[in-house]
């Protein structure tokens, strides 16, 4: 996870702009109003636009470090006072973002250099849910979004005589194997979302009004405008990417449905229908890794037990992070600064409450980069460290860029960089760093690829459809009366899943997913899954790798590191195709790399499915 408070990526921007401009108790006579309308203000000029951008970057730079340190203080020491500081700071940053976005719109028709135009667009597009200038609507949007987020975060269900919080419901979905119990947990959690519908509809209405004031057709168009192409072209682009990976997903779906049918029978899992969403080991059927034991190939190689190896080799949390750092220095990157080791939270403190969710931080736009983790000595944390450090090295690579360009080339890049590094944790890499003595035979890797596909491949359609649904909502294609119908049509069409019990127009199942209740864009996760494999394959191709793609590690390749850094150093200063081309040689995102990665699994799945009726 990337944490970078220097960007305008705000869930809600709500501030009384007109009240701020008019002041308290202001009154105007008709003569004053006539004088205002008598003289038309001069048109904005390129000089004024350039000066405005310079002012934004200066103020953003001044505020960003203070904001980052306030948020770090809270995340590493949760108290009443640090929560208060974060809340006050959030109000201030939100107000700044709204003021800047409104002013940036004044320069839409002004001819300016390309870099200035790019910065103006970044200022406008950085607000996720823009409030209109009407202060009453702004205040209402703040209240609505707070209620929605709180309703999700505090939601609980009654199960087996106990009150079960949201995070515990996820554990139940992963561990229960009784269809009736799974349906009960699923249905009760989705009932928590039902009362959110009216607030959500109002949020859409107000957010769309704010987006129109910024010059966008609706909030969905605002979100899609951040990809260096017209919004409708971006819709076409993600459909193209989905078309590339869909055959792999379809084969995995067919195999998983057959295995679930073997366990639960035809009544629960008919072979000619979508799969019941509650049976896939995840509340939203977005990742299926909890079903590994059901779908693993017979006599599958259990693989390398990295959990056991790390402990046997006397690894501790610091050594795990040092190992991750060594991956990047092997590519030619400079070591992490000493302050990283002095200021990061690598292990969970015993004397205070902290946020343990792993994240990477850049606090001063220079060299004060850190990670925040509660690191355990296991395979999952070993991978997570490599991922989070990917964010840190990306942050440091673009530190010389202007303030508005210190971010990923598009919102999928940052997550993809970390995930690409994690893909390079292969048996070959483990041997290179002395964790294993011999590399296992790659011919037995189908079990390992199945494990990875149950999360990486299974996620793809869900990662796409969450925002597909919201685009339809923001555009008015779906109305409150058809919210749920539209949601389940997309779930069926893309994922091939269905609800375990009958649903109605009164239900509001989309809000059972945090990112919808909280108004957080989701397309970045779909793009990151595509890009991570494209980056990985490009690195392996550039070093002349000839073996199975999933066995490649580019550890130690200075050539890969130099090309990698050239892309990272660009930040968001150029359209993302320019950054992509710098490393991969292609200007187009490409799903063929993930297909190539899983080719041995695809061969296995086709063999398993040859006598089955696939599809739904």
pLDDT in tens, 77-123: 988 898 888 878 877 777 788 889 989 999 999 999 999 999 999 99
φ/ψ of residue 11, rounded to 5: -65, -40
Higher-scoring residue by pLDDT: 20, 58: 58
% helix, strand, coil for the chain, step of 5: 60, 5, 35
- The secondary element (H helix, E strand) that includes residue 157 is strand 156-159
Segment 497-526 mean pLDDT = 94
DSSP for 22-85, written as a single string: H-TT----HHHHHHHHHSPPPPP-HHHHHHHHHHHHHHHHHHHHHHHHHHHHHHTS--HHHHHH
Segment 366-372 mean pLDDT = 94
SS3 state of residue 307: helix
Please tell me the predicted confidence (pLDDT) of residue 50.
96
- Spatial distance between the Cα atoms of 531 and 262, rounded to a whole number of angstroms: 35
Please tell me the predicted confidence (pLDDT) of residue 12.
36
pTM: 0.88
φ/ψ of residue 359, rounded to 5: -155, 160
Name the least confident of 100-109, 304-313, 441-450, 539-548.
441-450
Q: What percent of the chain has pLDDT over 90?
A: 70
Please tell me the predicted confidence (pLDDT) of residue 95.
76
What is the four-CA torsion angle of 387, 390, 391, 395, rounded to 10 degrees? 170
CA distances from 433 to 445, 481, 613 (A): 21, 58, 46
Residue 440 — very low, low, confident or very high, per pLDDT cuts 50/70/90? confident
Please tell me the predicted confidence (pLDDT) of residue 160.
94
Question: pLDDT tens across 378-430, in order?
Answer: 988 999 999 999 999 999 999 999 999 999 999 999 989 988 988 999 999 99
Please tell me the predicted confidence (pLDDT) of residue 125.
87
- Spatial distance between the Cα atoms of 164 and 167, rounded to a whole number of angstroms: 8
Question: pLDDT tens across 580-602, in order?
Answer: 999 999 999 999 999 999 999 99
Respond yes or no: is residue 388 known to be catalytic. yes
Question: pLDDT tens across 122-143, in order?
Answer: 998 888 888 888 888 888 888 8
Long-range pairs of 473-476 with CB within 8 A, sequence gap ≥ 24:
473/204, 473/220, 474/204, 474/207, 474/208, 474/211, 474/218, 474/219, 474/220, 474/221, 475/217, 475/218, 475/220, 475/221, 476/218
Higher-scoring residue by pLDDT: 136, 206: 206
Q: Could you report how far apart the first and last alpha carbons of the chain are, in Å?
A: 35
Contacts of 413 (CB under 8 A, 6+ apart): 394, 528, 531, 576, 579
CA quadruple 427, 428, 430, 434: dihedral sign: positive
Segment 316-322 mean pLDDT = 97
Please tell me the predicted confidence (pLDDT) of residue 2.
67
Respond yes or no: is residue 515 known to be catalytic. yes
Please tell me the predicted confidence (pLDDT) of residue 63.
87
Which of 48, 213, 237, 515 is labelled catalytic? 515
Name the least confident of 24-33, 282-291, 409-418.
24-33
Question: pLDDT tens across 446-459, in order?
Answer: 988 998 999 899 99
Which of 325, 388, 391, 415 is labelled catalytic? 388
Question: Do 177 and 278 meet the contact criterion of CB atoms below 8 Å apart?
Answer: no
319 has pLDDT over 70:
yes
Please tell me the predicted confidence (pLDDT) of residue 84.
84
- To the nearest 10 degrees (0 to 180), the angle between helices 413-423 and 379-397 is 130
Q: What b/e string do you get for 306-333 counting C-beta neighbours within 10 Å, with b at 16 or more?
A: beeebeeeebebeebbebbbebbebbeb
Segment 171-179 mean pLDDT = 95
Residue 165 — very low, low, confident or very high, per pLDDT cuts 50/70/90? confident
Tokens representing 473 are: 């909502």
Tokens representing 566 are: 């050239």
φ/ψ of residue 364, rounded to 5: -135, 10
Contacts of 244 (CB under 8 A, 6+ apart): 590, 591, 592, 595
Higher-scoring residue by pLDDT: 519, 462: 462
Residue 146 — very low, low, confident or very high, per pLDDT cuts 50/70/90? confident
Closest alpha carbon to 522 in 220, 152, 166, 183: 220
Tokens representing 155 are: 């939601």
Segment 361-378 mean pLDDT = 93
Average pLDDT, the chain: 90
């Amino acid at each position: 996870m990337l944490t970078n408070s220097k960007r305008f990526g705000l869930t809600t921007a709500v501030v009384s702009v007109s009240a701020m401009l008019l002041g308290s108790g202001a009154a105007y006579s008709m003569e004053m109003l006539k004088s205002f309308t008598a003289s038309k203000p001069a048109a904005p000029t390129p000089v004024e636009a350039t000066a405005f951008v310079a002012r934004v970057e200066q103020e953003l730079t001044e505020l960003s470090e203070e904001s980052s340190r306030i948020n770090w203080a809270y995340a590493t020491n949760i108290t009443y006072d640090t929560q208060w500081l974060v809340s006050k700071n959030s109000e201030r940053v939100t107000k700044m973002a709204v003021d800047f976005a409104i002013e940036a719109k004044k320069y839409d028709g002004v001819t300016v250099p390309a870099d200035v135009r790019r910065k103006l667009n970044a200022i406008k597009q950085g607000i996720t849910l823009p409030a209109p200038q009407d202060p009453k609507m702004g205040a209402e949007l703040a209240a609505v979004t707070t209620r929605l987020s709180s309703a999700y975060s505090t939601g609980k269900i009654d199960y087996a005589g106990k009150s079960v919080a949201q995070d515990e419901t996820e554990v139940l979905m992963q561990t229960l194997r009784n269809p009736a119990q799974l349906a009960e947990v699923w249905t009760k959690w989705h009932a928590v979302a039902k009362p959110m519908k009216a607030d959500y509809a109002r949020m859409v209405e107000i957010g769309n009004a704010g987006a129109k004031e910024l010059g966008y057709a609706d909030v969905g168009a605002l979100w899609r405008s951040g990809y260096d192409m017209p919004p409708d072209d971006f819709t076409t682009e993600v459909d193209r990417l989905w078309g590339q990976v869909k055959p792999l997903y379809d084969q995995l779906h067919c195999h998983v449905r057959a295995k679930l049918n073997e366990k639960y029978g035809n009544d629960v899992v008919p072979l000619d229908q979508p799969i019941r969403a509650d049976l896939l080991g995840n509340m939203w059927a977005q990742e299926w890794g909890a079903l590994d034991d059901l779908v693993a190939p017979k006599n599958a190689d259990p693989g390398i037990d990295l959990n056991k190896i790390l402990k046997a080799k006397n690894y501790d949390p610091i050594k795990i992070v040092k190992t991750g750092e060594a991956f990047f220095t092997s590519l030619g990157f400079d070591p992490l600064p000493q302050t990283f080791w002095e200021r990061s939270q690598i292990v969970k403190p015993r004397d205070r409450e902290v946020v343990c969710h792993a994240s990477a931080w850049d606090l001063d736009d220079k060299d004060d980069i850190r990670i925040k983790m509660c690191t355990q000595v296991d395979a999952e944390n070993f991978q997570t460290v490599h991922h989070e450090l990917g964010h840190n090295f990306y942050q440091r690579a673009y530190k010389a860029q202007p303030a508005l360009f210190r971010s990923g080339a598009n919102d999928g890049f940052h997550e993809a960089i970390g995930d690409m590094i994690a893909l390079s944790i292969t048996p070959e890499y483990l041997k290179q760093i002395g964790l294993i003595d011999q590399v296992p035979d790659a011919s037995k890797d189908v079990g390992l690829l199945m494990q990875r596909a149950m999360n990486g491949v299974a996620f793809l359609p869900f990662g796409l459809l969450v925002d597909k649904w919201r685009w339809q909502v923001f555009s008015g294609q779906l109305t409150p009366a058809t919210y749920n119908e539209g949601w389940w049509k997309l779930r069926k069409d893309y994922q091939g899943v269905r609800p375990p019990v009958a649903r109605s127009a009164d239900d509001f199942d989309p809000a059972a997913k945090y990112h919808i209740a909280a108004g957080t864009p989701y397309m970045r996760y779909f793009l990151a899954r595509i890009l991570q494999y494209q980056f990985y394959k490009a690195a392996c191709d550039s070093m002349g790798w000839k073996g199975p793609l999933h066995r490649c590690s580019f550890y130690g390749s200075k050539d890969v590191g130099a090309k990698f850094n050239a892309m990272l150093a660009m930040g968001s200063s150029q359209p993302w195709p320019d950054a992509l081309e710098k490393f991969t040689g292609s200007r187009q995102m490409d799903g063929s790399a993930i297909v190539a990665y899983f080719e041995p699994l695809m061969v296995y799945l086709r063999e398993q499915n040859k006598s089955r009726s696939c599809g739904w």
